[in-house]
Amino acid sequence: MAWFRREQTSLPRGQQESRVPEGLYVKCDSCKELIYRKDLAENLQVCPKCSFHFRISARERLDLLCDPGWEEFDRGLVSTDPLQFKDTKPYAGRLKDSKAKTDALDAVMTAAGAVSSLPVVVAAMEYGFIGGSMGVVVGEKVTRAVERALESRHPLIVVSCSGGARMMEGTLSLMQMAKISAALARLHEARIPFLSLMTDPTTGGVTASYAMLGDLNLAEPGALIGFAGPRVIEQTIRQKLPEGFQRSEFLLQHGMIDLVVDRRELKETVARCLRLLG
Amino acid sequence: MAADGDFEAPLRDLEKRIEELAAYPGDAAKEAEAARLRRELDQQRRAVFSKLTPWQKTKVARHPDRPYTLDYVEALFTEFTEVHGDRRFADDPALVCGFAFYKGRPVAVVGHQKGRDTKQKIYRNFGMPKPEGYRKALRVMQLAAKFGRPIVTFVDTPGAYPGLDAEERGQAEAIAVNLREMAPLPVPIIVNVTGEGGSGGALAIAVGDRVNMLEHSVYSVISPEGCASILWRDAGRAEQAADAMKITADHLKGFGIVDEIVPEPPGGANVDPEAQFRSLDRVLEAQLAELSAVPTASLADSRYEKFRRMGRLGQEFKDVPSA
Ligand SMILES: [Zn+2]
């Protein structure tokens, strides 16, 4: 019956790619095969044919990673649009649209829960909310998650999925990098484990702050991970980038991440890392 | 030149007329005329520079005659000893680091360095550091902590270098580690945004106890051109983007991001560098004295609180529990 109910699909074009569209069958972005929708869901939104990892929402991520019963905290934090920002349309309108089309009030959900019975604090970013961009609310919620991990002495897991700092909150967004990193310095000092998982995409100010600061840095296969975006780099060096540049496997090879983890083995791997470190 | 860049045109006219007068042997009438023009120039400079738009400030902040880190070092410090290299890969000329004396007191100095002529610009990579630059800066700041030396940084960069090699060597990781490691350093850190505060590449040496901005400098999450090309899909909308992002010192002071605005001479730091050095010197001297009185143990805590408050409940965000 699920496939009759198609009226809720309001994702704008740009953010739709690699999210699973509605319908009985899904065409894989990578191998172009038609996959039965139910099979894809049962396979954690990973293509059964080629293992392409479809992007998932923050809630799906928390469900996938945590045991049942995780509890979201700080859900009510919302931006006041401190710059009264407007480009081709007002930022206030973008906020409203994003709230309507996602299950979040800003680009991250933070929760207390457990991974295979090991208590954790988790932050999962929501790409559907203005490209997962980090403004004041993301900064505050992630910082509070770090502080909660410090207080409870439970390990911290942050799942990044973000185009970087949010332009519509200007330099305030930039400062969130320093704010979160300062909190992570305290976590580091307190010797509480911090696992960072980077998913497609993780770029800009998110990569250049908490995403790269994990005690262990993990990544899903094929994820775009970098500081500058590929287009900016191409413009700077005036040449085409090599195949696979800034993908998880490239970063593994260059010593920037510890593990590339298939989503179907993610929970088990995270639990093992927690047992090994915590 | 675009209309928005022409704000200095009347000033240039006056400058030219003063120069022309000076080229001729003067009689009393000419001298009087020259003096009158100089007064007029000064007045006009004050008028024009007291109401610069954010985009005009961006241009002033990027002015090639603006003092750079090594100019401040030469003017305000003695026995500067530059040190080099990150001990891992290379030395990065886009970020200069060293030790020097400030009014007889040993300090560490870290700052972006741009070049003036083409050769120097290329050598300094237009002030855009690579990972080895940030790692060198961290090494020097950790040395400063080891020997109890206050740190003074000068921020003036379009941004961290967005190149293939920088990505390969971990540009993001280098910046991230600096942010984490600067936060708890047990020595005073004074940050001075002297020109362009370009995003993460600026912030990587800007986690300090005091953050100062020169009156016409800018500090932003992305360049106005970059913002315009993404949000307006037109880099030509940079003027609007500069306006929308609130990148100037007065706005940033309002948000609690900047502590003190360092006055610039009429016409900007590029017109009268000596006056600029004196203006910054006053601020540095006072802040260094203030911070030296703070017990080491509480420095890191107040620095944490300072950045913790960037984004305040009830101001930049609110809590809607029923949502
Ligand atoms: Zn496939």
Q: Summarize pLDDT for B195-240 with one digit per residue, the tens.
A: 999 999 999 999 999 999 999 999 999 999 999 999 999 999 999 9
The mean pLDDT value for B253-273 works out to 97
pTM of the model: 0.94
pLDDT at B22: 83
Residue B279 and residue B260 in one domain = yes
Question: Is B173 part of any domain?
Answer: yes
pLDDT at A18: 63
pLDDT at B213: 98
pLDDT at B6: 79
The interface residues of chain A toward chain B in range 5-44, judged by CB-CB distance below 8 A, are none
The mean pLDDT value for B259-269 works out to 97
Rounded-to-integer distance, Cα B108 and Cα B92, Å: 17
pLDDT at B20: 86
Question: Is B196 part of any domain?
Answer: yes
State percent of chain B over pLDDT 70.
Answer: 98
Nearest by CB to A76, which of B197, B315, B321? B321
Query: Given a cut of 70, is residue A3 above it in pLDDT?
Result: no
pLDDT tens digits along B96-151: 999 999 999 999 999 999 999 999 999 999 999 999 999 999 999 999 999 999 99
Query: Given a cut of 70, is residue A7 above it in pLDDT?
Result: no
Domain range for B28 is: 3-51
pLDDT at A184: 98
Mean confidence (pLDDT) of chain B: 95
Angstrom CA distances, B275 to A176, B75, B78, B264, stand at: 34, 11, 19, 8
Query: Given a cut of 80, is residue A16 above it in pLDDT?
Result: no
Residue ranges of domains in chain A:
1-54, 56-277
Query: Given a cut of 60, is residue B3 above it in pLDDT?
Result: no
pLDDT at B4: 46
Query: Given a cut of 90, is residue B9 above it in pLDDT?
Result: no
Residue B222 and residue B122 in one domain = yes
Residue B282 and residue B197 in one domain = yes
Domain CATH for B98: 3.90.226.10
Residue B263 and residue B301 in one domain = yes
pLDDT at B5: 55
3-class DSSP state for residue B115? coil
Buried b / exposed e across B176-187, counting CB within 10 Å, b at 16+? bbbbbbbbbbeb
**Pairing between β-strand B218-220 and β-strand B260-262 as defined by DSSP bridges:** unpaired
Residue B216 and residue B133 in one domain = yes
Rounded-to-integer distance, Cα A77 and Cα B318, Å: 6
| Superfamily of the domain at A56-277 | 2-enoyl-CoA Hydratase; Chain A, domain 1 (3.90.226.10)
The angle subtended at Cα B191 by Cα B186 and Cα B196, nearest 5°, is 150
Residue B42 and residue B130 in one domain = no
- Among residues A9, A12, A46, which one has the least CA distance to residue A30? A46
Query: Given a cut of 80, is residue A14 above it in pLDDT?
Result: no
CB contact under 8 A, B244 and A83: yes
B24 shares contact with chain A (CB less than 8 Å): no
Question: pLDDT: is A237 or A201 the higher one?
Answer: A201
Question: Is B314 part of any domain?
Answer: no
Residue B76 and residue B45 in one domain = no
Question: Is B317 part of any domain?
Answer: no
Q: Strand locations in A192-248, DSSP E?
A: 194-203, 216-219, 225-226
Residue B28 and residue B160 in one domain = no
Q: Kindly report which listed range (A9-13, A95-99, B7-11, B242-246) carries the lowest average pLDDT score.
A: A9-13
pLDDT tens digits along A55-108: 999 999 999 999 999 999 999 999 999 999 999 999 999 999 999 999 999 999
Question: Is B322 part of any domain?
Answer: no
| Residue A43 burial (C-beta neighbours within 10 Å; 0-12, 13-18, 19+) | middle
- Angle in degrees, 0-180, between the axes of helices B171-182 and B131-146, rounded to the nearest 10: 20
Q: How far is the CA of A46 from the centre of ligand 1 (A)?
A: 8
Q: How far is the CA of A26 from the centre of ligand 1 (A)?
A: 10
pLDDT at A17: 52
Q: Which distant-in-sequence residues (6+ apart) come within 8 Å of B156 by Cβ?
A: B66, B68, B69, B111, B112, B114, B127, B193, B194, B195, B196, B197, B217
Residue B70 and residue B173 in one domain = yes
Query: Given a cut of 60, is residue A6 above it in pLDDT?
Result: no
Residue B89 and residue B206 in one domain = yes
Structural domains in chain B (count): 2
Residue B134 and residue B17 in one domain = no
pLDDT at A1: 42
The interface residues of chain A toward chain B in range 102-141, judged by CB-CB distance below 8 A, are 105, 136-137, 139-140
Residue B47 and residue B175 in one domain = no
In this structure, are residues B276 and A147 in contact, taking their beta carbons and an 8 Å threshold?
A: no
Question: Is B318 part of any domain?
Answer: no
Question: Is B140 part of any domain?
Answer: yes
Size of interface A-B (CB pairs under 8 A): 209
Q: Strand locations in B19-113, DSSP E?
A: 78-83, 95-102, 105-112
Mean confidence (pLDDT) of chain A: 93
Query: Given a cut of 70, is residue A9 above it in pLDDT?
Result: no
Question: Is B175 part of any domain?
Answer: yes
Interface test with A, best of B243, B316, B318 (most A CBs within 10 A): B316
